[in-house]
Chain A
Amino acid sequence: MENLKISLLFSLVAFLILITGFVQSWNTALLILNMGLISAIMSLGVNLQWGFAGLFNVGIMGFVALGGLAAVLVSAPPVYEAWSVGGARIIIALFFGVLAVITAGIWIKKIVDKRFKFWGAMIIALAGFFVYRAIFDVGVVAVEAVNPASTGYLGGLGLPVLMAWPIGGLLAAGAAWIIGKTALGLRSDYLAIATLGIAEIIIAIIKNEDWLARGVKNVIGLPRPAPYEIDLQQNEKFVSTANSIGIDPVTASTLYVKLIYAGLFSIVLIVVFILAQRALHSPWGRMMRAIRDNEVAAEAMGKNVTGRHLQIFILGSAVCGIAGAMMTTLDSQLTPGTYQPLRYTFLIWVMVIVGGSGNNLGAVLGGFIIWFLWVQVEPIGQFLMIILTSGLADDSTLKTHLMDSVAHMRLLTMGLLLLLVLRFSPRGLVPEK
């Protein structure tokens, strides 16, 4: 019965995407599929944290953006000139910064006297900050002056972009470690607020540190794991194959590229899903759920609750980082201005909750369904609004205002959906077993 329901729901998603293909266009359908795959991975990551362990992370946007940053740092071609004028300075400055933070950390650990502890750590941190800025600023000015219109940053390592995916996960894991270390073990709300903060800061850093990834000037044209459409259209073999199937070669090339991405993303999704599934059914997963359901009892049984929480928080954030790197790869550009918490944090939460927290299949399903709705609510809303306002004159202010505001229907719909599911089916579409 349960299996039937799950397969029905997944067929529904496939059906919806196919309908999009027939009614709108296959490019739109594949775009929804690709972003759906990425959303499903993000949703799996959040499900690890929330579904398995009951951790409330509202900084998903930050971890996703770190993944995107990794894509730039790994795959963009290095700017040698920038490295020679200021690269070393920046690296040394960052090293000093880290050193100061570590020293302050050791000070906090070793010094017992409370007042001494606080002010000592503050002085170390402040002194470290001034040294850091003194070295850092000169390097940054030099780097950003190198051909600012097209580079003005250090560039990446020039490695294949696929390598950015695991590295994006590692970057996100590092950030998660820092946050988890400070905020876990306190009230659950504190983790939420701390993650909310780190996400804003990560975005602020990516936006403003032009030497790192050009900030809001965006890094575009990142290398792709798939061939370029133009090359395919000039490839005789490809054109003749396309013609023999009866598709226009231009359309065929865009579809072909999107299918390659879909294949790559599916592989990652399947790997992450299998790992998550194995984790859920292992003794480790049972321990996690035991901790989630009753922390006090688990602690009494000798489980290190904060330690386990830290572990799973890092794992979940790493998955979000991987998904972020994949998304930047799909766009082949990093545009920090587009990272909005409603889209990259809270929407993922809607996916997990609607899909069914604690159930990996549910999380994947939620990822697909909510992403589909997110994309399609606008045209549907537009359609409904045309019907609703059909009685009004075309030039009435109310009608133009309503038509202009249709774009904001998405947020309303998502909020309503979240509340309805929480109220009437709190375990989601596919409940935890």
Chain B
Amino acid sequence: MDFLNALIVFSNFVFIPALAYGSQLALGALGVTFIYGILRFSNFAHGDTMAFGAMITVLATWWLQSIGVTLGPVPTALLALPFGIIVCSFFILATDRAVYRFYRNQKAKPVILVIVSMGIMFIMNGLVRFIIGPNDQRFADGERFIISVREFKQLTGLREGLAFKTTQGITIITAILVVIILFWFLNKTRTGKSMRAYSDNEDLALLSGINPEKVVTVTWLIVAALATVAGTLYGLDKSFKPFVYFQLLLPIFASAIVGGLGNPIGAIAGGFIVAFSEVTITYAWKKVLKYSLPESLEPSGLMQLLSTDYKFAVSFVILIVVLLFRPTGLFKGKAF
């Protein structure tokens, strides 16, 4: 029995990756939940918005690298992030003016807006593939590890090593910063408060003189920023591939629904719930159990509940369980 080594293996393969993935999902789910709370529809284009924002960031990163600007040990992509956010915001606002506003003024049913978002999804997906192509793109640079397996072993003298990738560290720190800024904005500023008021009760908000167009514009800006940050962090951590972002739609929606659609705190909690379930269920626990159980009980198999190919099934099962037992989500969103 060796609990320390078990703990290291656990952190290395489960805790840290899940924490990073959970941060990415939480940022994605926040975007979905914002649109849901303010514009009142499920945005199917969100995955592709993430891909679009990330693509601009990738292009800006390449440009910065080509003129010799880097951030040293930190990925250059962070410097390129503002470019991504600005371009993505402009694009998203343009789609709002050209497409969504018409249906908003018509007071179209939410499901029509969902179909419209499907059209936007097609266009963004096509654009991303058109500009950068459907293949994997690498744009991470700088130091790869904050602490690598070898360094960790030398430092502690333990048998198992712990790797902490720079991208994971950056993901977690960025996510925390973004969430702090977001909640400060929502709770302390006038615009943020009017957004919450609008989300809670549209009629009452209009009555008290809140400008709905301004609320919607700010919402799209926030969503564009969140999507770009989430997309770039995911791309840095794994790799940038347009199609993957579309597939992220399911875990992102699952996160938003688990927490309660329209509820920002719920979206963050949901992101981590989905990420941790996904990683724990698809991880082969053999090594952890080997260290934490007495030798006689050592498992023979991989002790993996589901193969990693079924990670979508995990978000789906969580989704179904929530729909069956608590359709409003853990933090009371809007279910009907």
Contact = CB atoms under 8 A, between A and B. Distances in A.
A409 B131 CA distance: 11
Contacts of A208: 307, 309-310
Interface in B104-157: 110-112, 114-116, 118-127, 129-131, 133-134
B115 A353 contact: yes
Interface string A379-417: 000000000000000000000000011001111111110
A282 B191 CA distance: 53
Contacts of B325: 117-118
B126 A410 contact: yes
Interface stretch (B70-78, B213-221, B222-230, B245-253): B245-253
B137 to A, nearest CB: 14
Residue of A129, A200, A414 with highest tally of chain B CB at under 10 A:
A200
B122 A415 contact: yes
A54 B125 CA distance: 26
A41 interface: no
A183 interface: yes
Contacts of A408: 126, 129-130, 134
Interface string A95-125: 0000000000000100000000110000000
Contact of A200 (B123, B131, B316): B316
A87 to B, nearest CB: 21
B253 A193 contact: yes
A26 interface: no
B320 interface: yes
B38 interface: no
A346 B323 contact: no
A377 B249 CA distance: 28
Nearest to B313: A201
A404 B133 contact: yes
Interface in B58-103: 99, 102
A4 interface: no
A414 B131 CA distance: 17
Contacts of A194: 316, 319-320, 323
A149 to B, nearest CB: 22
Contacts of B122: 342, 346, 350, 411-412, 414-415, 418
Contacts of B120: 415, 419
Interface string B288-331: 00000000000001000101011011011001100111010000
Nearest to B312: A200
B206 interface: no
B276 interface: no
A411 B42 contact: no
Contacts of B39: none
B257 interface: yes
B312 A187 contact: no
Interface of A: 54, 56, 58, 108, 117-118, 129, 133, 137, 182-183, 186-190, 192-194, 196-198, 200-201, 204, 207-208, 341-342, 346, 349-350, 353, 404-405, 408-416, 418-419, 422-423
A422 B324 contact: no
Contact of A193 (B127, B134, B319): B319
21 contacts: A54-B111, A182-B323, A182-B324, A187-B336, A188-B110, A193-B42, A197-B254, A201-B310, A207-B309, A350-B122, A408-B126, A409-B130, A411-B123, A412-B126, A412-B130, A414-B126, A415-B124, A415-B125, A418-B118, A419-B120, A422-B112
Contacts of A405: 129-131, 133
A189 B110 contact: yes
A415 B336 contact: no
A14 to B, nearest CB: 27
Contacts of B323: 182-183, 186, 190, 194
Contacts of B261: 189
Contacts of B250: 193, 196-197, 200
Contact of B126 (A188, A193, A404, A415): A415
Given A182-B323, A197-B316, A201-B313, A56 B247 contact: no
B335 interface: yes
B114 A419 contact: no
Contacts of B253: 193, 196
A219 B312 CA distance: 24
Nearest to A340: B243
Contact of A349 (B118, B125, B126, B246): B118
B234 interface: no
B8 to A, nearest CB: 27
A176 to B, nearest CB: 14
A344 B334 CA distance: 31
B119 A419 contact: yes
A342 to B, nearest CB: 7
A128 B122 CA distance: 41
Contacts of A423: 99, 102
Contacts of A58: 44, 118
Contacts of B313: 201, 204
A405 B126 CA distance: 10
A416 B123 contact: yes
A201 B316 contact: yes
Nearest to A353: B115
Nearest to B123: A415
B285 interface: no
